[in-house]
Amino acid sequence: MNILTIPLRNLRRKLPRTLLMVAVFSIGVASVTALIELSKAVGESLEAKLAAYGANILVSPKTETLSVGYGGLTLGDVSVDIKYLKEDETLAAIASIHHKDRLSAVAPKFVVLTRVAEVPVGVVGVDFDQERLIKSHWFAASGRLPGEAPDIVAGSEAASRLGLAPGSRVVVDGKDFTVSGVLGVTGSEDDRLLFADLHTLQQAAGKENRVHFVEVAALCSGCPIEEITAQIAAGLPGTDVKAMQQVVKSRMMTVDFVKHLALAVSGVILLTACVMIGLSVFSSVNERKNEIGLLRALGFSQAAVFFLMNLEALVLGAASAVIGYLTGFAASGRLMALLDLGEQAAPAFDPLQFSLMFVGVAALSSLASLPPALAAARIEPSQALVML
């Protein structure tokens, strides 16, 4: 028997209490692990869903404006020259940035102003597949979405003002289009516009491979939005790349709230588990005063007694960390499936996270045992002899 085997033999001697403490602490560690994995998955899922309600980066050509005024009266700003972006070069540059995996949608736009029944209206050429990724709130009030190449989708207000319905014909720059559907009310400028296939509208206007601007939906939790905008700007000199900060901040506040809530709950669970470890060691010290006194009488120093009690708590914490982490990791996968967070929402084993959890739980259990271990170290041999 030596200073290392005494704690292990004591834990084995009181096996029911040892198993109970390991089970309780393991449940706490498992809960924390599951919460951490769930918060990451929920944060990513929530951000992806928020990204479906609009872009947060706008890429447009740099334009020069001229302020017009006379006699102190400002008449407004006039664009000196309307420029275009080359579609293929722009999309290729955006797709080649370092953080391209954080881009959920890249939606180019080409805008034409036309007249329908002598009423001016804007027609926006879009890539319907990409557009639906950033506007998942679109739905067809009548007809169908998104429409084929020669089709047009009308906003609710535009359809009402122009008298359009599914099957109506619209001529844009000499090209015949058929209204395939009417959008439901969105409460945005989309209600006042018509939407056509990007390449078909470019051909009708004689502006192939030209776009006015590109909307990008980026997932911001993986890296700062400023890094993504800087990378896009570096790959597209001569363009104006803007991050819609208000959109970004509101999304990040929602995602951060979920993560901070999970951390707060995890902290409470770990604190409760640490208190239970401390109480268990306190109880053990009170029960073993005779034993501790005999150890002191046999020549064990105060430091050795302190080490014995601390090592006992450390073993409990280490065992609970391993069992709890593996249990929580397995449970998080089942919970993600039950919450239907998507096919890609699956926990990924991270050795670094496991190591940090192991070291952290072991350290917390050691800290929780400090007060009772100090109390045990102060027991004098005479106290045990009197009791005997």
Which of 5-19, 76-90, 310-324 has the highest average model confidence (pLDDT)?
310-324
Instruction: Give 344-349 contacts, CB < 8 A, sequence gap 24+.
Output: 345/41, 345/44, 345/45, 346/41, 347/37, 347/41
Cα–Cα distance between 215 and 286 in angstroms, integer?
68
| Enclosing H/E stretch for 70 | strand 65-70
Mean of pLDDT values over 317-337? 85
pLDDT of 74 > 60? The answer is no
The whole-number pLDDT of residue 300 equals 76
How confident is the model at residue 149, as a pLDDT?
Answer: 64
Among 128, 230, 261, residue whose Cα is nearest residue 183 = 128
Write down the pLDDT at residue 87: 92
Q: Given 3-state DSSP classes, what are the helix, strand and coil percentages for the chain, each rounded to the nearest 5?
A: 55, 20, 25
Rounded to an integer, the average pLDDT of 321-343 is 79
Q: What is the pLDDT of residue 211?
A: 93
State pLDDT tens for residues 101-160: 888 889 999 999 888 888 899 999 999 988 888 887 788 888 887 666 678 999 999 999
pLDDT at 162 over 60: yes
Confidence of residue 279 (pLDDT cuts 50, 70, 90): confident
Q: What is the pLDDT of residue 96?
A: 92
What is the sign, positive or negative, of the torsion defined by CA atoms of 287, 289, 295, 298?
Answer: negative
- Ranges 62-66, 277-281, 313-317, most confident: 313-317
Task: Please compute, for residue 137, the number of CA atoms within 13 A of its CA located in the half-sphere on the CB side.
Answer: 14
pLDDT: is 271 or 124 the higher one?
124
pLDDT tens readout for residues 203-224: 988 899 999 999 988 876 555 6
The pLDDT of residue 341: 62
Residue 252 has what pLDDT? 60
Highest mean pLDDT of the ranges 27-36, 79-88, 117-126, 267-276: 117-126
Q: How far apart are CA 113 and CA 109, in angstroms?
A: 13
pLDDT of residue 342: 57
Q: Give Cα separations from 212 to 24, 40, 129, 152, 330 (angstroms).
A: 61, 36, 18, 19, 49
Residue-wise pLDDT tens digits, 178-194: 899 999 988 888 999 99
**Tens digits of residue pLDDT in 47-73:** 665 555 555 788 888 776 655 555 555
| pLDDT at 156 (0 to 100) | 92
CA distance 4 to 311: 8
CA nearest to 128, candidates 152, 101, 156, 158 = 152
Can you tell me which residue has the tokens 């006699």? 71
* Closest C-alpha among 46, 57, 30, 34 to residue 240: 57
Evaluate if residue 75 carries a pLDDT over 70: no
Neighbours of 266 (CB within 10 A): 19
Pairwise CA distance, residues 378 & 331, whole Å: 43
Output the CA–CA distances (angstroms, integers) from residue 62 to 56, 84, 207, 225, in the order listed.
Answer: 18, 9, 19, 20
Six-digit token pair at 265? 């709950």
Percent of the chain with pLDDT over 70: 80
pTM of the predicted model over 0.75: no
Distances (CA, A) of 53 to 5, 36, 105, 126, 251: 61, 26, 11, 16, 11
